[in-house]
Each structure stands twice: as structure tokens, then as C-alpha cells.
Structure 1
Amino acid sequence: MNALPCMRRIAWVAAILALAGCANAPKPLYMWEGFPRQQYDVLLREGASPEAQIQAMEAHAEKARAANAALPPGFRAHLGMLHLATGNAGAARQMWQAEKVAFPESSAYIDSLLKRLDAGNQRASKGNPA
């Protein structure tokens, strides 16, 4: 009959350890917030204007910097697309290059965006003699 109190203690210790493990949830790798929803809204063409989205994303980036949190993959690339939609090709290029630095695995895609941007700039300069 001495085994029963010992088993109860083991059960209590196991329960306490299980609860302690749940108490310290790991910190998320990236600060996502509303970014996935924002991308979805853009694809549906139901989102806010590009200018308003840029403002919201820049606020998100500032919040992430303040929290010392990483921005998620694609964040800078998406922000670059929004800048391009507003006619700010320089800011688009800067955001795409930052995405490439933060996520080297995006290099092939980012390089293709930069190549298209450069091709568009060359066409525009040929059409508008200085």
C-alpha cells in the first residue's frame, strides 16, 4: 500500500512540470500582426489605398524595431510593391534589396523584380529624351 502515495506524488510532480512547461511559451520568430490579412486584402483589391497601406506597414515596422522583433518574410517585398504602385521606384528598390539581405533565399525572386524595374526605367528613359 506504500506504492499508492508514491504514485500520487509522481503524478503531482508530472502535472506541475507539464504546467510549468506551458507557462513559458516560446517567443514568436516574427512579428506578423495584421500583415497576412493586409496581403490578402491587396490581392482581393479590397484593401486601403497604397499610401494608407504603406503608412500602416511603416508603423508595423517601427513597432517591430521598438520590440526588437523581426519582420516576417515578404514584408519588405510587399512594402516595395506598394511603393512602386505609388510611383516611388527608388523606395521599391530599397525595400526589395532589404528583403534580399534579410532573406537570401528570396534572391531569385527579388532579382527578377529588380530586373523588371530596370527594364521599365530603360524604356521610360528612351521614351523621354532629356
Structure 2
Amino acid sequence: MKSTMQKRGGLVLMLAACAGLGACASQPQTMYQWEGYQPHVYSYLRGDQKSGPDKQIAEMEEDLQKIRAKGNTPPPGYYAHLGMLYASIGNNSMMLQNFQAEQKLFPESAPYMNYLLSNLKK
């Protein structure tokens, strides 16, 4: 009977130690910093007239500065969306710059960025 109690005590002690170590673990770092990216995309796709391209560009550029200041990376699509906003106001040089930034950070986006650029030239 005593050996069963010792086994249970050891098990309880081991579980308590595991729980204690788990509580000490640090929070995982996110891979990207999103800031207001998702609401901007949603607003754009909804065709929200209150938040026109100029306002969204200004807010996204400001968010980009915050992301860079913290040493983080914007999420996939951030530069592409910003480029699309610049294209919508006719600023093709900034559009191209943002599409190239998207391709540099996320090489898998190259086919789509090239597709968008080829359609722009037509």
C-alpha cells in the first residue's frame, strides 16, 4: 500500500513541476506585426468611402514606420496592398516600389506581382 502512495506522490510532484515550468515559459513572438493592415484591407474590399485611398495610404505608411521602429516585419500582402492603393491614385512609381518590396520579402508573391504589373501596362 505504501508503494502505491509513493507512486502517486511522485506523479503529483512531477505534474506540479511540469505545470510550474510551463507557467515560466515566455510568450511566443509573432512572425509579423500587423498593426491596422487587416481593417484596411477589409475597408478597401468593402468599398468604404469614409476611408479613401489617400487616408489608407497615410495610415498604412504610419503603421509601416511603427513596424520598422520595432524591428519587425510587415505581414505578407502588406506592401502589395499598399502598392494597389498607390495605383488607385495614379502613383505608379510608389506602386512599383511597394510591389518590389513585396517580392523581396516574399519571393513566392513574384508571379502575382508580375501579373499585376503586366495588366497595368496594357
**Superposed counterparts of 1:30-69, under 5 Å:** 30-46=32-48, 48-69=51-72
Question: What is the aligned-residue identity percentage?
Answer: 34
What residue is the counterpart of 2:15 in the other structure?
11
What residue is the counterpart of 1:83 in the other structure?
86
Is the 2:36–2:60 contact (alpha carbons within 8 Å) kept by the matching residues of 1? Answer: no
* 1:98 has 2:89 as partner: no
SS where residue 16 of structure 2 aligns?
helix
SS where residue 73 of structure 2 aligns?
coil
Distance 2:47 2:40 in 1: 10
* 1:28 has 2:22 as partner: no
Distance 1:8 1:39 in 2: 50
Distance 1:11 1:105 in 2: 44
Instruction: Answer with 92-101 or 9-18: which moved more.
Output: 9-18
Distance 1:8 1:104 in 2: 50
Instruction: Answer with 36-45 or 8-17: which moved more.
Output: 8-17
Distance 1:73 1:7 in 2: 46
Aligned length: 117
1:14 Cα deviation from its structure 2 partner: 1.7
1:15 Cα deviation from its structure 2 partner: 1.5
Computed over aligned residues only, the root mean square deviation of the Cα atoms, in angstroms, reads 1.5
- With the length of structure 1 as denominator, give the TM-score of the two structures: 0.82
Where do 5+ consecutive residues of structure 1 fail to align? 120-130
